[in-house]
Each structure stands twice: as structure tokens, then as C-alpha cells.
Structure 1
Amino acid sequence: MAFTTCYATRGVSTDGKPEMTIDEFKKWLKKFDINRDGRISEEDLQEAIRASGGWFTGRKSKAGVRSADANGNGFIEESEINNLVEFAKKHLGIKIVAY
């Protein structure tokens, strides 16, 4: 998967999933904030999913924003990135660890 070759991670877990901390996940995700407004849009998330080798990027990015966007403004802001963790574990194939 592209995470292990393109992005700094802690390595690959025993189940073959790339492993990263929440802070590493946030740094990785911010790389896709194309307009640098500090928020992740559906388009930004779509590019992140595409870069990770994911399929159905449009559908997944819409679902990801919907699942993480606590205030309903259509963007994932810094305070909402933690909400995206469960989505990333299920749909992006990432193992996010606490340390």
C-alpha cells in the first residue's frame, strides 16, 4: 500500500496495515489541504484516499467528511480530525495507535 512507501509511518502491523500515531495521521492528512485553509474538504480527502491507493474515492471522501464533521459545515477542521480516525481505520486500511 502507498502509505509505507510515500509517507512516514511507524511501519506495518502484523495484520499488514500501515501503522501510525494520531499525530502522524494528522500530519499526513494536512499534506492534502490543497488551499492551506487548515480544513480538509471532500476534495482534499478524496486526494488523500487516492494517494493511499484507495478506490471509490468520491464516495469514501463524502462519507468521511460526513462522519467527522461535527459542526456540519462540510469540512474537517483541526478539532474534528480525531473524528476521522475510526473512518480511516475502517476505510483507508490504517492502523492508528496511541503512542
Structure 2
Amino acid sequence: MYDNHLQHNDHQHGGGKAASVPLTEDQLKGIFRRFDTNKDDQFNRQELKDAFHSLGSKFPSWRAFWALHHADANGDGFISENEFSELLNYAIKHGYVVN
């Protein structure tokens, strides 16, 4: 599990820390899929909030809102399997890392 070693770049402060390694697309897929709590292969806002919280986001509710805005192409309030790649692109763009 990655939860104890995840961090969003917003949390990083100088001070000589070793370079952090960005999470891969496959790692992000696994993390997000863990938060599909009802196993319906789509993500609602709460599931996204929980996933972004585990990724170390300072504002997981805000991040979930914008992830839905970015990836929910049909506007149904969920990120479906067809929209999942856009969710991953959004998360990759925001630089979640393993320390």
C-alpha cells in the first residue's frame, strides 16, 4: 500500500529532501480503484475526495470537485470507466509522488 508514503507536491518544502518520484499511471489506477467503495466502476465525489485525501491533497474536496469538472465528460456527476483516463491525466498533472 502506498498511503503512508504518498505526498502531493504542495506539501513539499525545501530543506534538502531527496527527490520525490512521481506516481506512475498504473500506481494511480490502483489507488483510485481502491476507493471505488461500491465497486460500480465509477467514481462519485466522495470516492474521489477519499482518494485525493489518501494521495496527500491539502484540499481533497476541492480537488474532487475539479477532477469531476475535468473528467466528467457527460456531466452525470460520476467518472465512469470511459472517463477514467481523464481522471488519471488530471492526477498526473497535479504531481502526486512517492517519497
Query: 2:57 aligns to what?
Result: 54
Residues 1-99 of structure 1: pairs in structure 2 closer than 5 A: 5=5, 16-20=20-24, 22-94=25-97
Query: How does the TM-score come out when normalised to structure 1?
Result: 0.71
Aligned CA RMSD, in angstroms, stands at 2.5
The alignment partner of 2:53 has SS state of: helix
The alignment partner of 1:49 has SS state of: helix
**Highest CA radius of gyration, 1 or 2?**
2
Deviation at 1:57, TM superposition (A): 0.9
Counterpart Cα distance in 1 of 2:79 and 2:5 = 26
The alignment partner of 1:86 has SS state of: helix
Q: For CA contacts below 8 A with separation 6 or more, give which structure has more relative contact order.
A: 2
Query: How does the TM-score come out when normalised to structure 2?
Result: 0.71
Unaligned runs of 5+ in 1: 7-13, 95-99
The alignment partner of 2:79 has SS state of: coil
Q: Is the 8 A contact 1:68 1:83 kept in 2?
A: yes
Deviation at 1:15, TM superposition (A): 5.2
Paired-residue identity, %? 29
Query: What code does the residue aligned with 1:74 have?
Result: G
Instruction: State the aligned residue count.
Output: 86
